Amino acid sequence: MVTRVAFTGLVVALAGQRLLELRKSRKNERELVRRGAREHAPRHFTAMRLLHASWLVAMPLEVFLLRAPFRLPLALVATAGVAAGQALRYAAMRALGPRWTVRIFTLPGEPVVTSGIYTRLRHPNYVGVALEMACVPLIHGAWRSALAFSALNALLLGVRVRSEERALAADSGYAELLASRPRFVPTFARGELST
């Protein structure tokens, strides 16, 4: 019972983190619009919000109702995955600075961000979210939530990434600057990460 309550506390903390991030995003969005930014594919945001809210509810429900077991070795591996996901998401936020939003906005004529984590990946934020979506439930053995929401997230991201890349290509030099970089998984060459 103690691990279930602790896991629920973790999920509540994660929900709080997401709410703070939405607040930061809204602030950035207002400033971007003031500077002439355009929003693209706004319907994706509604689906994304519903997916994330459902995920946050489903995990503790699975843990309590289906008595998902806590297994320390799995929890340690899953925690490492969550930490990697958080690191990627926050590296993306840091690199994008005031241009980071949860919605798809572009600033026509402004160059695409190619610094920070974007020297290695085109979509580090989405990789981080995917890691969290898969790994947070596994901290307490909620494998059904991990599988179901990872699959749904992959479907949503398939549509969202294409929309985002089309918008960036139309409003910046995205294709020339980032097309050669891997979308989600860095490639390895000569023992190093290659760009």
Q: How far is the C-alpha of 21 from the C-alpha of 83, rounded, in Å?
A: 17
Residue 190 pLDDT exceeds 50: no
Q: What pLDDT sits at residue 113?
A: 86
Q: How far is the C-alpha of 186 from the C-alpha of 170, rounded, in Å?
A: 25
- 69: helix, coil or strand? coil
Q: How far is the C-alpha of 82 from the C-alpha of 76, rounded, in Å?
A: 10
- 195 in a structural domain: no
Amino acid (1-letter code) at residue 27: K
- 194 in a structural domain: no
- 89 in a structural domain: yes
- 161 in a structural domain: yes
- 193 in a structural domain: no
The total domain count for the chain is: 1
pTM: 0.86
- pLDDT one-digit tens code per residue, 17-55: 999 999 999 999 999 999 999 998 888 888 999 999 999
- 96 in a structural domain: yes
Q: Is the torsion defined by CA of 119, 45, 147, 10 positive or negative? A: positive
Report residue 90's pLDDT band, with 50, 70 and 90 as the boundaries: very high
Return the exposure string of 6-38: e unless at least 16 CB atoms fall within 10 Å of the residue's CB, then b. ebbebbeebeeeeeebeeebeebbeebeeeebe
Could you tell me the CATH number of the domain that includes residue 74?
A: 1.20.120.1630
Q: How far is the C-alpha of 146 from the C-alpha of 108, rounded, in Å?
A: 38
- 33 in a structural domain: yes
